[in-house]
Structure 1
Amino acid sequence: MIIYGTKAKLLKNEIANASCPNCNTANSIQMNVFQRWAHIFWIPFFPIGKTGVSQCLHCKQVLKLKEMPASLKLSYDNLKGQTKTPVWTFSGVGVVIVIGIFAYIHTKQTAERINRWVLTPKKNDVYHVKLKNDHYTLYKVDHIVGDTVYLALNKYETDREEGLSDMAAKGDTAYDLAQQGLPKSILADMAKEDRILDIDRK
């Protein structure tokens, strides 16, 4: 469940140079500027504007922005112009950027490792393979002769990459006894085409 919504925080207040429209007390209006922001899981993601309320310190009348007379709106606009949007209201955007950077680095490192390991295979390496029908399966290295890698193919396929972990849990009995020999160059091409998604090596 995603928890999202909006919040507001008081940024600045000052006494407005105006009389209260309710009790006519001079210089009794406190103008308040609030910053509003959108949040997901209570993390501020981006600002969605400022708003304000006024309160008479004498009669305690509170007016929302749309209820203020023109003189109070002018005071609000002046105070709002002096109030900067806090950087922390963009925290969520920063988190997304950092996660994106780490995901990019991880993806690049995984690709480099796969490209290296397909050229230096070892017995019992398990390849996570995307098939041409957009299904997924596992190949297990049985032995290597020269530049040819002999693979035991898993008996099962899944339509979700996440399902490969369930397939791996079935153990060696899930692989056919018959083996398929593939040159390292073909495996390297499969890796470049993103058809080998990962390699498990013990």
Structure 2
Amino acid sequence: MIIFGHRSTHLKSAQLRNVKCPNCETQDQMTASVYGRHVHIFWIPIFPAGKTGVFECQHCHKGFKKKGLGEDGKLAYKNFKSTVKTPLWKYSGLAIIALLICWGFYASKQKDNRVAELVKQPAMFDKYTFKTETGYFSTFKVVEVFQDSMYINYNNYETDRRTGVDDIDLKKNYSDEIYVLTNKDILSMHNRGDIEDIERK
């Protein structure tokens, strides 16, 4: 399956005035067609990649490349090409990428705000995803909440990827041993950026 490549689409055609056909020398019968190239991924245009011209004499029906035209033809084509605008849809891939980036920043900011609020008001059954001292990722669950601390069960496993947390978040992986974390401990973890997420049912 081709997921990346180039593609050309027809943009505009016009008859070039005061231009003779290099083959039959008939004047005012040369037609120029401008094609716009663009880079695509999964057939979604990402950005334009230039324009090219195709020429045909309507009298003798012979086709030419730009280099096959005379100087008058090249000048006429240059003037015509300057009037051909690149359609906005050829930038649609860039627009989608920009929107995804903006959405990612917004979603990240919303998550950070939610985590900041949940840290201040811990509740039973909260599940914390956090960075370990070794730089890996793991989880712990809140068993009971007190005024200034909480009881938790740690996950016995760690993962080197944030996205791998779901794979280790299994009931059998949590220790039966109870640990104590104070509210100050949790706030310190949050301030250091060690708390990645908090899930509350």
Q: TM-score, normalised by structure 2?
A: 0.93
Q: Which amino acid aligns with 1:81?
A: S
**1:10 lines up with 2:31 in the alignment:** no
Q: Which amino acid aligns with 2:175?
A: D
> Does the Cα contact within 8 Å between 1:16 and 1:31 map onto a contact in 2?
yes
Using the TM superposition, give the Cα deviation of residue 132 of structure 1 relative to its aligned residue in structure 2, in angstroms: 2.5
> Does the Cα contact within 8 Å between 2:24 and 2:60 map onto a contact in 1?
yes
Alignment of 1:45-124 (within 5 A): 45-124=46-125
Q: 1:183 to 1:78 in 2, by over 3 A?
A: same
> Does the Cα contact within 8 Å between 1:139 and 1:154 map onto a contact in 2?
yes
* Residue ranges of structure 2 left out of the alignment (5+ in a row): none
> Does the Cα contact within 8 Å between 2:111 and 2:197 map onto a contact in 1?
yes
Of stretches 39-48 and 184-193 in structure 1, the one that deviates more from structure 2 is 184-193
Using the TM superposition, give the Cα deviation of residue 2 of structure 1 relative to its aligned residue in structure 2, in angstroms: 6.9
Count of matched residue pairs:
200
**1:190 lines up with 2:194 in the alignment:** no
> Does the Cα contact within 8 Å between 2:22 and 2:68 map onto a contact in 1?
no
C-alpha distance in 1 between matches for 2:165 and 2:48: 41
Q: Which amino acid aligns with 1:13?
A: S
> Does the Cα contact within 8 Å between 1:31 and 1:75 map onto a contact in 2?
no
Using the TM superposition, give the Cα deviation of residue 107 of structure 1 relative to its aligned residue in structure 2, in angstroms: 0.5
Q: 1:49 to 1:114 in 2, by over 3 A?
A: same
Q: Which amino acid aligns with 1:190?
A: M
Percent identity between the two aligned chains? 35
Alignment of 1:106-185 (within 5 A): 106-168=107-169, 170-171=170-171, 173-185=172-184
Deviations 1:145-193 (A, max 9, x none): 211122111111111112210111x21x311122221222321232233
> Does the Cα contact within 8 Å between 2:189 and 2:195 map onto a contact in 1?
yes
Q: TM-score, normalised by structure 1?
A: 0.92
C-alpha distance in 1 between matches for 2:43 and 2:187: 45
* Residue ranges of structure 1 left out of the alignment (5+ in a row): none
C-alpha distance in 2 between matches for 1:96 and 1:193: 31
C-alpha distance in 1 between matches for 2:71 and 2:162: 61
Q: Which amino acid aligns with 1:58?
A: H
RMSD: 1.6
> Does the Cα contact within 8 Å between 1:141 and 1:149 map onto a contact in 2?
yes
| Structure 2 residue aligned with 1:32 | 33
Deviations 1:16-66 (A, max 9, x none): 121110111221110111111111111111111111111111221111223
